[in-house]
Amino acid sequence: MSVRVYNLSEKLGITNAELIEILRSRGFVVKTASSTVDNISAESLVEEFTSKGVDKGKSESSDPDSEVVELTKNSKEEKVVGPSAAATSKGVDKGKSESSDPDSEVVELTKNSKEEKVVGPSAAAIVKTKEEVDHERQERIQAKRPKPAVVKPRVPGMIPPQPSSSPLKPISPDPLSVALPSKTDSKSQSSPVPTAARIPPDRDSQPTGPQRPQTAVPPKPVKSGEETKADSQHQKQEVAIDESQLKSLELKPPLVVRDFAGHLGLKPFRLISELMEFGIFASMNQVVEEDVAQRLARNHGYRLEVRHRGEKAQEEQEKTKIEEPEKKEAKALVPRCPIVCILGHVDHGKTTLLDTIRKTDVVAGEAGGITQHIGSYQIKHNGQKISFIDTPGHAAFSRMRARGTRITDIAVLVVAADDGFMPQTDEALGYIQDEGVPIVVAINKTDVPGANVDRVKGQMQDRNIAAEDWGGETLTVEISALKGERITDLLDTILLQAEVMEDLKANPEAPVDGIIIEAQKDVGQGANASLIVQNGTLQIGDALIAGPYFCKVRALFDDMGQNLKLAEPSTPVRVTGWSGPPESGAAFRWVKNDRVARNEAKENELEIRKQGQDEVPEETGATLENIFDAISKSQRKVFRVILKADVFGTAEALAECLEDIKSEKIILEVVQTAVGAISKNDVQMAHAAEAAVVGFNVNQESGVVSEAKHHGINIYRNNIIYELIDVVREAMADTLEPEKKENKIGVANIRQVFPVGKTGKVAGCMVVEGRIARDNNARLIRDGKIQVESKIHALKRFKDDASDVRSGYECGIRLVDYDDYREGDVIECFEIENVRPTL
């Protein structure tokens, strides 16, 4: 919306020429009275002229202080005559009331004051003296801080006496301040131009927006000889006052003009006018820069602090790390049960050992007889609790083993007596030593043929973990997990190791925190996670947050599936109610309620996305090697897959294994990794991405098979990870073009050339090797060089057609589209075989 200049001049009560001059001086491009001004600027001008209707300062006399005229409530009514802003001072009875300060005089108009005519839209007349002009110029120098005043047109009123040095107090809406003109400047004040339009030649010519009310103490006029010194002292005092009175304002980016104005308690057009003073022309929907916003907020009595996403969570984490020792010292810590991690090579008896301890049969439920998940359990031995974490031993689950060592107190390294130390055993030992976790070696399968305990202890000594009976410090127990031999000794050894550890304590009254072990998504329960509580006591209804996911605890289950009401420190528990399956190994913590958890999870998600966008690959110089690599990659095919697994940990391990499949012919790209059953959405996404669906230990929802058949999508499923990897490898090979392999069938020498008809020729040949078959591929070789590659068009034995002729027999041969035969040429017969490609 815009306003015509002539309409605006009528509202302001000045001529078009005067308004055009004012607008041009403020940077507006105005040519005629029919030109337009934007609505925001017009409202700003109207408000400015209205606010300037009240005297800004005191009229100056020989003293630097002013004379103030106070209109009493009983003074006669003023008449509004015309658009002029000047007022006459006839008939005003001046009664000077001198105070102890000789710098100011207060004149009160009594009831017998004569009627005073006022011209202009304002209810109060404005008369400016030379001293007032100087005073206004000084006010502009002093951070442009005018005295707050709100004036309503056609409402006469009175002015209360103004204190000379005390801070400003709220002004009553009735009184109106009128400056008393001096006799020497009465002629100069009769100009019809209002105060807002007056621009003295010595004033700064930059356009200014409407002046805003301030709560700080207004500056006192000083003598001309002391202006610089007084200004400096006043600014220092003003900064000190502002620093003590600033209110804290915390906002998140982006700082949009409309919203930022609301936080400051301003109207948007007022904030836009203030931005214009900084040389910034912005609309209500544009974003304000942080440094500009902080300056604006400071002018309005606020100390602005911009909070970027993720900073609060990071500060809280750092604060938690700093306060954690103090928290432990300040609050009583109670002993907790040890968390024991079972590590070792695949098929060395880790899960069988736990089955024997728990008197269960977990091995029977694992596909292929190997553990493919992290399991967490808790048992009681001699009245004391022990929490166990079972990790997979297969090479594909190296990250799971590393995660297990990070959250454990004691590590039990299981070594088979017949195999000794294997690759995954050494890998697990490396994780244990890196984390500095106390170790207990369990030598298993001591009852099988070929068991050699001394060989295992010798390998331990080679790895600097010598057993106690070999002069070392490593606790070692010889067991048979299958028969249950010496299992009690192993548990006693674990408890003995836990007794000497002084840091096995936790605060059950502290806010809950811990580590996510596994996460999955069930059809009936939705997203749930297995976790271990490290501090605090987890209860139903608590709100948790782990990365981009949050949870309001609906139910708690132990390792046997029994419902729990609470979970104390070091307790493994399965929690339902998550918004999504959190990442395995992620830390979770307690928050006040689910609303806070939802907001923080959303902030974490945005921060993760932002970090992904900020991760720009490092640019390297263009070398010949890089160019050839880029060309090679562009020529290779891409096999895209969508992974679905039962839990997050196995999905993560499967994705790593598939990405480790290297080939110079094809690249495997994992489009998405998720947990849960294969759904129609997965098939549709695979169709859009031209990918296959790979499912590990998951089922298919109804309608998935028909949907996949309709779109031509391949679905590969298996419950054993290494078998599934082989299936995917074979599927990748099937997508490659078959390789061509040439097999030589026979060779024939041309003995004589016979003409056939007017132009045709037949080669009389003797088959010297293999056989010559009709319609097979053939090439003619002359002097060791290939003359032509073609096919055998006709093959005859004497006058009869033959399908093939074997070695040692004569025949006649004609090739397709070729008859330049010569004696001594050789005809080779061969066939092309398609061979399945390999990666």
| Helix H or strand E segment including 21 | helix 16-25
Contact 442, 414 (CB under 8 A): yes
Closest CA to 245 of 311, 299, 169, 172: 299
CA distance 164 to 557: 76
Residue whose token pair is 């008393």 = 180
Q: Tell whether residue 345 is among the known ligand binding residues.
A: yes
Q: Maximum Cα–Cα distance for the chain, whole Å? A: 152
Q: Tell whether residue 152 is among the known ligand binding residues.
A: no
Give the pair of three-digit tokens for residue 299.
Answer: 């002018």
Please list, in sequence order, all residues whose beta carbon lies within 8 angstroms of the beta carbon of residue 560, skipping any fewer than 6 positions away: none
Q: Tell whether residue 7 is among the known ligand binding residues.
A: no
Q: Tell whether residue 552 is among the known ligand binding residues.
A: no
Give the pair of three-digit tokens for residue 226.
Answer: 């002391």
Look up residue 793 and give its DSSP letter: E
> Distance of CA 214 to CAs 170, 238, 628, Å?
11, 12, 69
Measured torsion, CA atoms of residues 124, 128, 132, 134, in degrees rounded to the nearest 10: 140
CA distance 8 to 16: 9
| Amino acid found at 667 | I
Q: Tell whether residue 31 is among the known ligand binding residues.
A: no
Q: Tell whether residue 392 is among the known ligand binding residues.
A: yes
Residue whose token pair is 């005809």 = 827
Q: Tell whether residue 447 is among the known ligand binding residues.
A: yes
Q: Tell whether residue 391 is among the known ligand binding residues.
A: yes
Q: Tell whether residue 623 is among the known ligand binding residues.
A: no
CA distance 592 to 543: 7
Sequential DSSP letters for 200-261: -TTS--S---PPPP--SPPPPP--GGGHHHHHHHHHHHHHHHHHHHPEEEEE-S--BHHHHH
Closest CA to 293 of 326, 325, 253: 253
Q: Tell whether residue 348 is among the known ligand binding residues.
A: yes
| Helix H or strand E segment including 708 | helix 704-711
Contact 726, 701 (CB under 8 A): no
Helix, strand or coil, per DSSP, at residue 389? strand
Q: Tell whether residue 710 is among the known ligand binding residues.
A: no
Q: Tell whether residue 184 is among the known ligand binding residues.
A: no
Give the pair of three-digit tokens for residue 588.
Answer: 């979770």
Closest CA to 14 of 62, 64, 49: 49
CA distance 827 to 807: 13
Helix, strand or coil, per DSSP, at residue 780? strand
Please list, in sequence order, all residues whose beta carbon lies within 8 angstroms of the beta carbon of residue 420, skipping any fewer than 6 positions away: 452, 455, 456, 459
| Helix H or strand E segment including 48 | helix 39-51
Q: Tell whether residue 444 is among the known ligand binding residues.
A: yes
Contact 29, 19 (CB under 8 A): no
What residues are designated binding site?
344-351, 390-394, 444-447
What residues are designated binding site for GTP?
344-351, 390-394, 444-447
